[in-house]
Structure 1
């Protein structure tokens, strides 16, 4: 079974090389969807792990960039991560192993901090691992956009990531994918990601934004302004 890894990258010249280094040798096609004007496209094109670099002229956000990358793929499975995220060795194969079960249409895993201190490690463990372990079994499936994968056919049939949502578009996609089959939370399929945006937002502010966002989403309203939207 083959996989494509899609990386949206908006003005991420300083970190995209690190993300691509981690994907070298993972046996997947790598597609980078680039926006911005800081030279991210040149850095991605110069890296041997990047098989395709697409310029996102519309710059309509990470959801649109991920969808464009998925449409450009021709593999059965599409994995998603971010330019400020580093995947461990065997990450692609870890995701692919779950698709040997034909009922599985999606896989997600936890996030670990790439930098930061003990407080960051504790809060990531609580908010990105333990919370997922509790919520997934009761049907509140939420695979993070920088650590998820889907069967490409089902993902496209479902409409991919909702490009109209500036926030929680990854949770929305996970919940819609429940109609197409089973999704697996693998606590060992972790990635390490930068804590820069959590630090900028503040963890308590971030938690409150999610509480409000979940409540708005559950009642059919826009979940609110996205704090991770740099596009």
Structure 2
């Protein structure tokens, strides 16, 4: 079976200083199928940086700047691929990242894939906390049905993405978890522990891991309670 056509979508809001490194990692992908890279960019320096990079096929100006969910939808609506892959502007992916995600879609029942996060920063504290919160947590929750594809390292089958209506743009927080749970109605959402990406720990450094845990705890509670919505402006 041929490799599916793939589209990588990168939301980038005021990320001109970090975007080049992320795009460099996408330029080096070892993938035999058709691959395109789209950047949904907000902020003129970021738009310029995206347009200047040879790995980028299309730059979409995100005039709203309403958050990662709407930016990802903007990119998905313009993409041509059968598989939509999402990562962030402060994230570096390995050379086989697209291939590892797309191989899962050779199984017809698979509609989504997620993988672990590692810190870009070379710090033992970050490495341990990321291992606990952005890998082992997923491994524990996934078999219970609480699937949570992390925004910097996830992909979806286009037909399933369209069937569930994409990212819920009313959510300012946990929009990736919400999409993952809705995708389960369409088929299998797979966790691949062998497909990590490295992402910035700047948010963790800003709020601390205790603050981050509290933010997510409140967000999860707001998500499951009737009539509540996790709208915290964490990002």
Alignment TM-score > 0.5, same fold: yes
Write the distance in 2 (CA, Å) between the matches of 1:94 and 1:76.
15
Deviations 1:41-74 (A, max 9, x none): 1111111100000101122211000001001011
Q: Is 1:223 the counterpart of 2:230 in the alignment?
A: yes
Question: Which sections of structure 1, spanning at least 5 residues, go unmatched?
Answer: none
Aligned residue number for residue 63 of structure 1: 69
Residues 96-107 of structure 1 mapped to structure 2, 5 A cutoff: 96-107=102-113
Residues 80-159 of structure 1 mapped to structure 2, 5 A cutoff: 80-159=86-165
Check conservation: 1:116, 1:195, Cα contact below 8 A: no
Q: Is 1:166 the counterpart of 2:172 in the alignment?
A: yes
Aligned residue number for residue 44 of structure 1: 50
Aligned residue number for residue 14 of structure 1: 17
- Larger mean CA deviation between 127-136 and 214-223 belongs to 214-223
Give the counterpart of 1:73 among 69, 79, 82. 79
Aligned residue number for residue 24 of structure 1: 27
Post-superposition offset of 1:116:
4.5
Q: Is 1:209 the counterpart of 2:215 in the alignment?
A: yes
TM-score by length of 2: 0.94
Write the distance in 2 (CA, Å) between the matches of 1:112 and 1:167.
21
The alignment partner of 1:89 has SS state of coil
Paired residues, what number?
A: 227
Post-superposition offset of 1:224:
3.8
Deviations 1:183-210 (A, max 9, x none): 1000011100000011101100100111
Write the distance in 2 (CA, Å) between the matches of 1:62 and 1:127.
21
Write the distance in 1 (CA, Å) between the matches of 2:6 and 2:188.
18
The alignment partner of 1:202 has SS state of helix
TM-score by length of 1: 0.96
- Give RMSD over aligned pairs: 0.9
Write the distance in 2 (CA, Å) between the matches of 1:63 and 1:206.
19
